[in-house]
Amino acid sequence: MASYYYLIASLPELKSDSEMPITYDEFLSYCETAVESSVYEELKNLTLSSDKGPLVSKWAKFYKELTKEVNYQRSLRLGKQYEAPEFRDHTAETIASAALSAKNPLEAEQILLDYEFENLDSLVGLHMFDKHVLFGYAIKLKLLERQGCFEHEKGKAEFKKLFDQVQQQVYSL
């Protein structure tokens, strides 16, 4: 446990609206000598859909419910049938609606990322130098890693290409 103090205190701050200050591999290299081997293995195998580990099971439940809410609202907007989530959280409904109403997909992802970071901060709560903080940090890094895969210019070009195709189909009618 004592080794967590230095490790956690030395990690750079993560913000939902900033670039990744370190890669996940760099994070793992910091953890390799500072945490127990079982914790290191859990961190090494961590994905956004993992559901075991400190804090991770609560995160998995939240992430699954948010994903279901986004899928449900997206399906309704497309006029398709989709089973309503069992439990509908008002905040998740509002966030999903805001994301689906965003001007572009990148803005929608940012809305969801901000909400996910807020939830992780809430799940970590008053934990300071323990596994909860470490796993919360790891999940945030995974989220930023996913966000970093989005290429704004490439996405914009693809959107324009698809939009042009739709326009051509409309004009040909």
Segment 69-103, tens digit of pLDDT? 999 999 999 899 888 888 889 999 999 999 999 99
Residues with Cβ within 8 Å of residue 126, at least 6 apart in sequence: none
Is residue 152 scored above 70 in pLDDT? no
Per-residue pLDDT of 98-150, as tens digits, reads: 999 999 888 999 999 999 999 999 999 888 888 999 999 999 999 999 887 77
Report field, pTM of the whole predicted structure over 0.75: yes
Is the distance from CB of 106 to CB of 150 less than 8 angstroms? yes
Is residue 159 scored above 80 in pLDDT? no
Rounded distance, CA 160 to CA 149, Å? Answer: 19
HSE of 4 in the Cβ direction (CA atoms, 13 Å)?
14
Q: What's the mean pLDDT in 150-155? A: 66
Helix, strand counts (H, E) of the chain: 8, 0
Confidence at residue 172, expressed as pLDDT on a 0 to 100 scale: 76
Torsion sign across C-alpha atoms 156, 158, 161, 165:
negative
Report the interhelical angle of 56-78 vs 131-148 (nearest 10°): 30
Q: What's the mean pLDDT in 156-166? A: 70
Rounded distance, CA 116 to CA 6, Å? Answer: 26
Q: What's the mean pLDDT in 20-42? A: 95
